[in-house]
Each structure stands twice: as structure tokens, then as C-alpha cells.
């Protein structure tokens, strides 16, 4: 069954699964225990920490293991309660793990400004600078969008932020393993990641925290993760994430070339088969293999269901529920009309997809959209 929804989640890489199974079967010790079994589990965690740090060019002490990208986002945002500066600047196309959290924090004294994006989904750095207030304590803007694949002018946004002496956080969940990523180049202060987006397991992720920056714990209890995140660590999950990060880093060029080739095939055949299709996002700054396409006159949930019956799995560009279609907030923020919004599908390719599968997908779309 061809799977074209890798921005939602990815299948576990066989090498990752092998390591996880081995750790789960043979290394059951609590990493906080001082006996041999505990020390061995702790060594596995620290090896994964070093591997992940190498993948993003960070120091191992700057990696904090979490239960996923959403938890990493929450850690940074909830920590603001302890800050003297409680104003946050974010963008209108952030994941709910940013925007919904900020709404929850409002009654606790956190205020926030939501920046608009242009028709391609990018933040204007000049608008960011104008939005900074005397009490701004954090800028949080995602590195790349999960729906349309648009990559933000992240280095320029961070430079402006740092010129004002403000820390910068980025939800970078969609980036690792898809584009080159070095914290030395990006210079963000906090970055959130999730294992299941890079052929690792679900339920585990990490937060990059630049050395020396304060961060209050979200989960309080034991002293795990340098007292930043209490709770017995998910040893097999962390080991799997470490291997996934290693594979992503070592095979990045090959993966990017593969995704770019699939994207080219998709768009070339789409132009032939579906003359009215519209590609959303930023053509010059986007994740390889992530395509948001609208099919005017056809509702996305109907197209999705027809493809699903053919065994082709894609994602809707809108949130569907209880028989009605709600326009995607991301596409709305980009100024896309409701009629185009609810006719949008997202295609996100992966390492196992082939050109033949993509051609078959587009031919099916052509039959549905032109039928």
C-alpha cells in the first residue's frame, strides 16, 4: 500500500527497530540505578545523546530527552511563567503545540503576538522586529511548516531576535533528516524534535537547549535529564531515536536527492494530468518531497477517500470531522480562499516511495479530478 503521508509520521527504519528490540529485551535496568544493569541502561542513553548531538552539531549536554516534539514545545513555553518577561511572538502557521499552549497560558499572565505570513507561508523579518516589545521574553517560530513545507528565513529572524537580547525557539520537528541542520549555523536557543518524523519510534523526542540558558522543568519529580525532565527514561525509544538520527545524518544527501526526484516527477505529471491543480507554499524555500496541492471544485475529503480505496494514503490539507470540512488554519493564514482550502491535499514522500508509485498516484488524481 503506497504511503504518501510522511509528514504525519514515518515507518520505523529496520535498523532502528532492531536496536530497540535488542535494548528492550536485554537492557531492562533503570538508568538511575547504580548497579550494573542500571549503569548499562544509562550508558545506552548517553550514547544516544552523543549521537544526536553529533547529528545537529551540538554538545551532548544540550540535548534533553522528552516524550516528543509537543512536550519539547511545552517545556519552553511553560517555562516563561518563571520569567520576568512574559510576552511571546509567534506566527500564524504554528503547530497547535505552540498556539494552543499560548492560549492556555494567557490566564497565567502570558501575552503573545501572532505574526502574519505571506501567500507563500513566510514571515516577514521586518514585521517581526516591529512586534518586539519591552517585555518580550521569547520568539517562537517554526523552521518548516508541516502542511505546506515552507521553510522560514530562520537565520534572519534569529539575528533580529538576538539583536534585542531575546531567546529564540523553533519547532524543528519537520526538518531533521530532510534538510541540512546545524545548531552552529542556525543559532537558535531552543529547538524541538520528534523521533517518529525521521523513521524512529513514537512517544520520544528531544529539546535542544543552548548551554547556559535557563529552563524550568515541566514535569517535576526525580532528577533525570539534568533535572529538566523527571521520570524514568524510555531507554529503548531513546536508543532507537539515536540510531534514527545517525541514519538521517549519514544519508542526508541521498535522502534529499530521492525526495527531490519524486517531487519533480509528481509536479511534472500533475501538470499533465490535472491542469487546474494549484501548488501551495514557497517554491524556492520548502522541504523536499512535501507538496500541498489544491484541486478546485473537488472536496479534499472525497479525493482522500477515493485514493484510500485504491490503497493510496495521503493527508487532507484541512481538518475533517463529523461529516463537515473545516478550512485549514495554515492555508487560511496564507490568504487562500475557503473554496481552495477545502480542496487541498498534502503529499509527503519518503525513503521507500518509488517514481512508479508517484506516477500511479498522479494518474489516479487525474481520473478523479477530471472525471
- In this predicted model, what pLDDT tens digit does every residue of 117-171 receive, in sequence order? 999 999 999 999 999 999 999 999 999 999 999 999 999 999 999 999 999 999 9
Domain with CATH 3.40.640.10 in the chain: 14-250
pLDDT, position 328: 93
* Residue ranges with strand state E in the chain: 63-66, 87-91, 111-115, 136-140, 168-171, 190-194, 205-209, 278-280, 290-294, 315-316, 319-321, 324-326, 344-348
Our measurement of the distance from residue 339's CA atom to the centroid of its chain's CA atoms, rounded to an integer in Å, reads 27
Mean pLDDT of 185-211: 97
Reduced to 3 states (helix: H, G, I; strand: E, B; else coil), residue 102 is: helix
Contact 9, 197 (CB under 8 A): yes
What pLDDT, on the 0 to 100 scale, is given for residue 367? 86
Region 26-31: mean pLDDT is 93
**Angle 43-46-51 (CA atoms, 0-180°, nearest 5)?**
125
Q: What is the pLDDT of residue 307?
A: 95
Cα 86 versus chain centre, distance: 25
Model confidence at 323, in pLDDT bands (50, 70, 90)?
very low
- pLDDT above 90: residue 13: yes
Report the C-alpha dihedral over residues 45, 46, 48, 52, rounded to 10 degrees: 130
Average the pLDDT over 222-241 and give the result: 95
Average pLDDT over residues 183-191: 96
Class of domain 252-370 as given by CATH = alpha beta
Average pLDDT of the chain, as a whole number: 95
The catalytically annotated residue of 8, 127, 320, 359 is 320
Distance of CA 54 to the CA centre of its chain: 19
* The length of the chain, given as a count of residues: 371
Per-residue pLDDT of 67-110, as tens digits, reads 999 999 999 999 999 899 999 999 999 999 999 999 999 999 99
Q: Could you tell me the pLDDT band of residue 271, with boundaries at 50, 70 and 90?
A: very high
Looking at the domain that runs over 14-250, which CATH code has it been given?
3.40.640.10
What confidence score (pLDDT) does residue 319 get? 52
> Residue 265 above 70 pLDDT?
yes
Residue 318 pLDDT exceeds 90? no
pLDDT at 322 over 80: no
Q: How confident is the model over 11-40, as a mean pLDDT?
A: 96
Rounded Cα–Cα distance for residues 175 and 211 (Å): 22
* Nearest in space to 93 (alpha carbons), one of 287, 335, 323: 335
CA dist 162 to 170, 223, 316, Å?
14, 31, 37
pLDDT grade for 321, boundaries at 50, 70 and 90: very low
Nearest to 138 by CA among 95, 94, 76: 76
The pLDDT of residue 326 is 80
Region(s) of the chain under CATH 3.90.1150.10? 252-370
274 classed as catalytic: no
Q: Is the pLDDT of residue 301 over 50?
A: yes
| Structure confidence at residue 28 (pLDDT) | 93
Please tell me what DSSP assigns to residue 61.
G
How many whole angstroms separate alpha carbon 127 and alpha carbon 93?
Answer: 15
The answer to whether the beta carbons of residues 335 and 315 sit under 8 Å apart is: no
Residue ranges of alpha helices (H) inside 230-326 are: 235-250, 252-273, 300-309
pLDDT value, residue 1: 82
Q: Nearest to residue 86, comparing CAs of 134, 135, 140?
A: 135
How is residue 203 annotated by DSSP? S
pLDDT of 320 over the 60 cut:
no
DSSP string for 209-247 = E-TT-----SS-SS-HHHHTS-S---HHHHHHHHHHHHH
Q: What is the pTM of this model?
A: 0.95
Amino acid at each position: 500500500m503506497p504511503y504518501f503521508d510522511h509528514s504525519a509520521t514515518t515507518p520505523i527504519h529496520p535498523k532502528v527497530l532492531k536496536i530497540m528490540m535488542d535494548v528492550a529485551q536485554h537492557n531492562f535496568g533503570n538508568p538511575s540505578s547504580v548497579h550494573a544493569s542500571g549503569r548499562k541502561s544509562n550508558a545506552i542513553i548517553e550514547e544516544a545523546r552523543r549521537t544526536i548531538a553529533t547529528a545537529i552539531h551540538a554538545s551532548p549536554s544540550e540535548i534533553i530527552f522528552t516524550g516528543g516534539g509537543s512536550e519539547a514545545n511545552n517545556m519552553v513555553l511553560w517555562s516563561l511563567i518563571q520569567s520576568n518577561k512574559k510576552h511571546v511572538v509567534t506566527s500564524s502557521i504554528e503547530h497547535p503545540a505552540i498556539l494552543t499552549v499560548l492560549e492556555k497560558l494567557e490566564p497565567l499572565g502570558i501575552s503573545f503576538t501572532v505574526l502574519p505570513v505571506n501567500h507563500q507561508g513566510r514571515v516577514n523579518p521586518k514585521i517581526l522586529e516591529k512586534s518586539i516589545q519591552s517585555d518580550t521574553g521569547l520568539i517562537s517560530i517554526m523552521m518548516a511548516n508541516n502542511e505546506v513545507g515552507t521553510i522560514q528565513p530562520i537565520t534572519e529572524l534569529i539575528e533580529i531576535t538576538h539583536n534585542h537580547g531575546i531567546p529564540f525557539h523553533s519547532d524543528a520537528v519537520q526538518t531533521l533528516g530532510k534538510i541540512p541542520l546545524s545548531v552552529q549555523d542556525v543559532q537558535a536557543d531552543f529547538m524541538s524534535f520528534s523521533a517518529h518524523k525521521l523513521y524512529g519510534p513514537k512517544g520520544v523526542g528531544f529539546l535542544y537547549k543552548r548551554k547556559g540558558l535557563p529552563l524550568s522543568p515541566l514535569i517535576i519529580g526525580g532528577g533525570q535529564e539534568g533535572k529538566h525532565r523527571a521520570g524514568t527514561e524510555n531507554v529503548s525509544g531513546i536508543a532507537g531515536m539515536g540510531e534514527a538520527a545517525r541514519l538521517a545524518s549519514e544519508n542526508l544527501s541521498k535522502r534529499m536527492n530521492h525526495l527531490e526526484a519524486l517531487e519533480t516527477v509528481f509536479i511534472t505529471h500533475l501538470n499533465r494530468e490535472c491542469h487546474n491543480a494549484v501548488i501551495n507554499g514557497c517554491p524556492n524555500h520548502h522541504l523536499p518531497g512535501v507538496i500541498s496541492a489544491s484541486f478546485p471544485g473537488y472536496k479534499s475529503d472525497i479525493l482522500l477517500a477515493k485514493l484510500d480505496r485504491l490503497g493510496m494514503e495521503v493527508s487532507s490539507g484541512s481538518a475533517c470531522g463529523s461529516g463537515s470540512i473545516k478550512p485549514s488554519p495554515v492555508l487560511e493564514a496564507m490568504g487562500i480562499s475557503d473554496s481552495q482550502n477545502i480542496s487541498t491535499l498534502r503529499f509527503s514522500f519518503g525513503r521507500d516511495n518509488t517514481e512508479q508509485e508517484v506516477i500511479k498516484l498522479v494518474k489516479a488524481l487525474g481520473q478523479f479530478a477530471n472525471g
